[in-house]
Amino acid sequence: MAENARIRITDAGRGRSRSMSPQRWGALIGGGALAIYGITRRSPLGIALATGGGSVALLAATRKPSPESSASATILINSTPQEVYQFWRDFENLPRFMNRLETVSKLNDRRSRWVALGPGGKPIRWDAEIINERENEHISWHSLADSDIQVDGRVDFRSAPAGRGTLVDVHIEYSPSLGTGNTLANFLNKGANFIMRQDLRRLEAMIEAGEIPTIEGQSHGRRDFLTGVMRVADPTRPIPVRSNLKDTFAARRRMA
């Protein structure tokens, strides 16, 4: 839908075209207007408005349009293609490192049922079938009819030179576009590719170190409200606002 409504502008100087979504135009114009209004106010509130509005406009103008319905990432893992392939081929392993996946259950050798966390933590379900595979090299799959979303995925495993391990390339396309379920993350350009990179980083840690590094559950001294808000801004969490606000308010209660 958003695809159809794109406004196309041509960058004549460089002879290539860019496209901006209506939302980005809105953010650019709205943010700019707010900034100009703020500047003319000449008061602390005005400065705040100008800063906020200016930031919105700047981000809208400079943010690279990320492909909204696909994710790609690559990682080098210090392991053999066989080992990484085996691990991935058992799709039930995927939620262990993809933190937006809730569960994957095997229906038979080629079919599996997936549940992911959508925007706001709403579950999204689909059934997938492997459509192509070459042992230790490649797996591709797609979703079947009657799914909440349509998904096409592929992963390739290649030996890296000089015994450095395995290069893993993942590409997933889905429609309709979901964003990342985290407006702030989208806004900071921590889009689907970023999320996928974090997933693959966790895969690397699982295979190389046998565990994913974590600080969840550590103790700490009193946190203030601002720190809590900063925690909310963590774009690597699947549904950050829900989980972090709870923590923040708990910390506030402890302080009181």
Which C-beta is closer to other proteins: that of 78 or that of 105? 78
Shortest Å distance, C-beta 166 to other proteins:
12
Q: Closer CB to other proteins, residue 93 or residue 150?
A: 93
> Which positions from 196 through 235 interact with other proteins, judged by CB under 8 A?
197-198, 201, 204-205, 208-224, 226-227, 230-231, 235
Q: How far is the CB of 224 from other proteins (least distance, A)?
A: 5
Rule CB under 8 A: is residue 72 a binding residue for other proteins? no
* Token pair of 41 as six digits: 């106010």
- Cα–Cα distance, 178 to 149 (Å, whole number): 9
How many residues touch other proteins under the rule CB under 8 A: the total is: 34
Total residue count of the chain as it appears in this document: 256
Smallest distance from other proteins to CB 72, Å: 17
**Residue whose CB is less far from other proteins, 76 or 245:** 76
Q: Which is nearer to other proteins, 139 or 237 (CB)?
A: 237
Can you name the residues that pair with 133 across neighbouring β-strands?
139
Q: Which of 21, 55, 236, 243 binds other proteins (CB under 8 A)?
A: 236
DSSP letter, residue 153:
E
Residue from 106, 164, 242, 246 in contact with other proteins (CB under 8 A): 164
* Region near other proteins per CB under 8 A, out of 52-60, 104-112, 128-136, 194-202: 194-202
Binding other proteins (rule: CB under 8 A), the pick from 36, 58, 61, 76 is 76
Angle at 45 between CA 40 and CA 46, to 5 degrees: 15
What is the contact surface with other proteins in residues (CB under 8 A)? 76, 78, 164-165, 194, 197-198, 201, 204-205, 208-224, 226-227, 230-231, 235-236, 251
